[in-house]
Amino acid sequence: MYSKIIGTGSYLPAKVLTNYDLEKIVDTSHDWIVSRSGIVERHVAAENELSSDMAEQASRRAIEAAGVGLDEIDLIIVATTTPDQTFPSTACILQDKLGIRQGAAFDVQAVCSGFIYALNTADLYIRSGQAKTALVVGTDALTRLLDWNDRSTCVLFGDGAGAVVLRASDTPGILGAKLHADGSHRGMLQAEAHINQGRIAGSPFIFMDGQSVFKFAVKVLSEVVEELLASLNMNRSEIDWLVPHQANIRIIEATAKKLGLGMDRVVTTVAQHGNTSAASIPLALDSAVRAGKITTGQNVLLEAVGGGFAWGAMLVRWS
């Protein structure tokens, strides 16, 4: 028993914030942001637009592309760092908004690598026979955690959602995954706030030691890809497409170079989306699928690293 992706969908909020808009609110410049990150603009969720709202739009598009009925979905996993509420899970809220009443629904919290963690979990559910048709979503509104006076973080993030429908299949599908975490690095990238007795304790804003994150990301991403390929007895030349987490074009280019992949085989959306955390891979995947770039029989490598630190890679044979 295997699982395979049978539909993708994504959603971006209507409001676009360009680098030139940011120049008006913080001491930065379009040229600095582009040269250090590759980001030109990002989308920002409306004030009343929640992670579950963005997830609903992306999910409806993925479900339509998959051609499955809502009554067939027996598992919903949502990767998010910006849940609608402390509880219930955003997955349960999404289930309700979609009008689904059957199956299991829960959230996965692995920050920027959340979508790979969620997709791996859904794959294992399907391969064990516990589910047949899973909706896997990455949705985040990280702009809500930004200090708009902190130019070292506020220029990097955006909001959005992406989704896939994963279904049981006799043929692969998802070929394999490798996930890692090392919580000892958690101070390098965090939003430490929590609610205590009705008050917010700790800073509610994203803190990031950018240079340390950059070095760590480039190192572990190439390591985990090599580990994954070795476990599958495959080599780099068999990768047709790299769909990386879209944090920074320089991290993406460095990883592609280490893998010997030309940038023409790398899907990049970071210029238009910024870093949308758990949404970034499914957003990029959906854009490449709808543009007709990824075709049947191709091997697609997904990889991500983020707060935790948590990171991972997954290889998918497109069918």
What are the catalytic residues? 112, 245, 275
Tell me the window of 11-19, 66-74, 207-215, 260-268 that interacts with ligand ACO (CB under 6 A): 207-215
What is the arrangement of strands in the sheet containing 75-79, beginning at the earlier edge strand? 2-11, 159-169, 133-141, 75-79, 104-108
Member of 268, 275, 276, 287 binding ligand ACO (CB under 6 A)? 275
Shortest reach from residue 311's CB to ligand ACO, in Å: 9
Tell me the window of 28-36, 56-64, 65-73, 289-297 that interacts with ligand ACO (CB under 6 A): 28-36
Residue nearest ligand ACO (C-beta atom): 210
Member of 58, 76, 100, 217 binding ligand ACO (CB under 6 A)? 217
Paired tokens of 166: 């994963």
Residue 54 binding ligand ACO, by CB under 6 A:
no
163 forms bridges with which residues in the sheet? 9, 137
Residue 28 binding ligand ACO, by CB under 6 A:
yes
Nearest to 230 by CA among 180, 179, 181, 176: 176
Residue 316 binding ligand ACO, by CB under 6 A:
no
Member of 152, 169, 272, 319 binding ligand ACO (CB under 6 A)? 152
Residue 82 binding ligand ACO, by CB under 6 A:
no
Nearest to 112 by CA among 293, 284, 258, 319: 284
Residue 265 binding ligand ACO, by CB under 6 A:
no
- Residues forming the site for ligand ACO (CB under 6 A): 28, 32-33, 36-37, 112, 151-152, 155-156, 189, 208, 210-211, 213-214, 217, 245, 247-248, 251, 275, 305-306
